[in-house]
Amino acid sequence: MTAPLIDPFARAITYLRVSVTDRCDFRCVYCMSENMTFLPKKELLTLEELDRMCSTFIGLGVEKLRITGGEPLVRKGIMTFFQAMTRHLESGALRELTLTTNGSQLEKFADDLYAAGVRRVNISLDTLDEAKFADITRWGRLPQVLRGIDAAQRAGLRVKINAVALKGFNEDELPAITRWCAERDMDLTWIEVMPMGDIGNENRLGQYWSLDDVREAYAKDYTVTDLAERTGGPARYVRLEETGQKIGFITPLTHNFCESCNRVRLTCTGELFMCLGQEDNADLRAPLRENPDTEAPLRDAIRAAISRKPKGHDFDYSRQRTDGQMSRHMSHTGG
């Protein structure tokens, strides 16, 4: 009953990413349209159901839990969920509890997150220019995010900056963002824009900036050394020898990263996506809600889903088309 989760390609599934809400206080142009229709709240897993769901996964060998959204910290009462997960950290069953955030609420919650056992946070930040930040997030304000980063570091949280590489938008900021992260002792990862959901009039092909080009840009100013480090995830790492910085590249479009994938994604409505770049999913909400007194049907449903985990994804920007574009929004699946 507690045997580890092993997929058809002999990969152990030890990492669960959980979207706790599809709502966000930003409207980033590459992520969602400005006038979003969000899910009815009754469709979302309650905080208690999220606890049951995550606890069941932990009982099946999941050791790392990343909380995502939407913006996870805008969900009402979300700190009670983080506090509930603390018991799994204390028991040793869960090795890491972390989150990905836009940073807007960190000034308020950083200390509470640290108290709950969170030690690392990923903060999405694509520009250090206040006007450009307002443009790309539509509703966001850069000073608020910077105060959140300050609060996170004061609280003892290790911060990693995730920046989406956007042609014609932040190409010229590569040196400034890199120096800023070095000065603040923050890791930096660049991410290729992903084809997820309808974003209105925005053109993803126009936004797409290959990370091969990003690496070439670094090589003009730094000695770039490939690192063998692997986390089971999509990132590949280099070191900038002049600063000692570790820079990550998440390249779902120009390089396949699936051979060591150890993760699955749970949406805020209880759908399990075995691959970010595939539409196949499993409904875990039904066995959870229909069996309030036993976790056995939920465990069975999880194992059945893992048995369908594909070898790789379908993202492709070749031939100037967004082949494999996912119809769902990233905010639904979880960033």
| DSSP conformation class of 21 | -
CB 283 within 8 A of CB 45: no
- Residue 9 counted as domain residue: no
Report the C-alpha gap between 267 and 284 in whole angstroms: 10
Helices 142-155 + 130-137 axis angle, to 10? 100
The CATH number of the domain where 258 resides is what?
3.20.20.70
Binding site members for [4Fe-4S] cluster: 24, 28, 31, 258, 261, 275
From edge to edge, which strands make up the β-sheet containing 224-226? 224-226, 235-240, 245-250, 187-192, 158-165, 120-124, 96-101, 64-68, 15-19, 263-266, 271-273, 281-283
Distance, CA of 105 to CA of 101 (rounded, Å): 8
Q: Which domain holds residue 98?
A: 15-333
Distance of CA 138 to the CA centre of its chain: 20
Amino acid at 122: N
Annotated binding site: which residue ranges? 17, 24, 28, 30-31, 66, 70, 100, 124, 160, 194, 258, 261, 263-265, 275
Asked whether residue 7 is assigned to any structural domain, the reply reads: no
Tokens 């990862």 appear where? 189
> pLDDT value at position 192?
87
Residue 54 is classified by DSSP as H
Residue 26 falls within a domain, yes or no? yes
Q: How many domains does the chain have?
A: 1
d(CA 264, CA 158) in angstroms, rounded, equals 24
| Domain-embedded: residue 10 | no
Report d(CA 26, CA 32) in Å as an integer: 9
Q: One digit per residue, pLDDT tens: the chain, 335 residues? A: 667 899 999 999 999 999 999 999 888 888 888 888 888 888 999 999 999 999 999 999 999 999 999 999 999 999 999 999 999 999 999 999 999 999 999 999 999 999 999 999 999 999 999 999 999 999 899 999 999 999 999 999 999 999 999 989 999 999 999 999 999 999 999 998 865 444 445 554 457 888 889 999 999 999 999 998 776 567 889 999 999 999 999 886 555 557 778 899 999 999 999 987 677 899 999 999 999 999 999 999 999 999 999 887 655 444 344 444 444 445 555 55
H-only helix segments in the chain: 47-59, 78-91, 106-115, 130-137, 142-155, 174-183, 204-207, 211-221, 285-290, 296-306, 330-333
Is residue 316 in some structural domain?
yes
For residue 321, the model assigns a pLDDT of 41
Alpha carbon of 193 to those of 29, 49, 117: distances in Å? 11, 32, 31
Q: Can you give the pLDDT at residue 151?
A: 98
DSSP 45: P
C-alpha–C-alpha distance, residues 253 and 231, integer Å: 19
Tell me if 5 is assigned to some domain. Answer: no
Which residues are annotated binding-site positions for GTP?
17, 66, 100, 160, 263-265
The reply to whether 1 falls in a domain is no
* Residue 257 DSSP code: -
Binding-site members for S-adenosyl-L-methionine are 30, 70, 124, 194
pTM of this prediction?
Answer: 0.88
Asked whether residue 8 is domain-assigned, the answer is: no
Structure tokens at 56: 């069941």
